[in-house]
């Protein structure tokens, strides 16, 4: 996790209503894709260690199902985990997440996904965005936790597509929120104004210590598309390979981000 001084980065605001809808919409896209897969595809491998597609599908349901589960628990006394710290905190929970995912009952994915959808929609009805949730990594507001759900859903939607060859759609708001949070995490990890990172059409951030750019074309610029950025930020892709494939452009002597990536595993 970055040192405390790097957590002063201002967290951008997200429209809670749009984020709620984005989580629901992206989960719907995932459900539609999963439920059309033949049984043999569900037993196939993924790029997530030795997880099968079925285990990945169960994990995706759990990521949304965690919302009603946490809302059903007593509210913590105070907030402990700011949104910008969440990406850096996830690595510590990797073992627990793997264990829980493998223990999920995924024998009937259609029933699991329907229960999850109903529980999510029912739990959010009347729930306040400022309500604190007892997340294992530290208490978070419901609004902040839902932003993290867009990251989980978008990242693992890409994993699902890579494993199955199915072109799963991306909800625009979910993709935007995921992209922005991971860009802001980079700026929090390496605060400064020497490098401008552009991920059109969703985010532009400045990072890395050094001379701050004020006008004209910045001397150090990195630009890529949202999915490539998300893969870099989560370790699904490597900096050098994406540069070679021209999916990332980097100009300027400070525009090498390889030492800062990935941001989360």
pLDDT in tens, 163-190: 999 999 999 999 999 999 999 999 999 9
Q: Cβ neighbours of residue 99 under 8 Å, at least 6 residues apart?
A: none
Residue 49 sits in the same domain as residue 146 = yes
**Mean pLDDT score, 62-90:** 95
Residue 130 sits in the same domain as residue 247 = no
pLDDT attached to residue 29? 98
181 falls within a domain? no
16 falls within a domain? yes
Q: Across all residues in the chain, what is the average pLDDT?
A: 94
Q: Cβ neighbours of residue 65 under 8 Å, at least 6 residues apart?
A: 115, 116, 119, 120
What is the domain extent for residue 49?
A: 4-173
Structural domains of the chain, count? 2
For residue 251, pLDDT over 90 is answered with yes
- Copy the structure tokens of residue 239: 């900096």
């Amino acid at each position: 996790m970055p040192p405390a001084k790097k957590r002063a980065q201002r967290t951008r605001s997200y429209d809670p209503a749009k984020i709620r809808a984005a989580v629901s919409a992206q989960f719907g896209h995932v459900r539609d894709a999963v439920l059309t897969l033949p049984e043999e595809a569900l037993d196939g491998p993924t790029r997530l260690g030795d997880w099968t597609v079925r285990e990945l599908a169960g994990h995706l349901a759990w990521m949304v199902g965690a919302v009603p589960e946490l809302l059903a628990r007593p509210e913590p006394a105070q907030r402990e985990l700011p949104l910008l710290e969440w990406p850096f905190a996830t690595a510590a929970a990797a073992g627990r997440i793997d264990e829980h995912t493998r223990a999920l009952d995924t024998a009937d994915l259609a029933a699991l996904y329907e229960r999850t959808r109903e529980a999510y929609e029912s739990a959010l009805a009347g729930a306040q965005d400022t309500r604190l949730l007892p997340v294992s990594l530290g208490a978070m507001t419901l609004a902040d936790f839902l932003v993290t759900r867009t990251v989980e859903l978008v990242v693992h939607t890409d994993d699902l597509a890579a494993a199955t060859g199915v072109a799963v759609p991306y909800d625009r708001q979910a993709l935007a929120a995921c992209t922005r949070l991971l860009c802001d995490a980079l700026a929090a990890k390496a605060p400064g104004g020497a490098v401008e990172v552009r991920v059109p059409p969703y985010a532009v951030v400045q990072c890395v210590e050094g001379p701050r750019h004020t006008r004209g074309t910045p001397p150090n610029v990195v630009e890529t598309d949202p999915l490539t950025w998300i893969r870099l930020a989560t370790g699904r892709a490597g900096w050098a390979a994406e540069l070679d494939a021209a999916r990332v452009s980097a100009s300027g002597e400070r525009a090498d981000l390889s030492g800062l990536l990935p941001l989360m595993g």
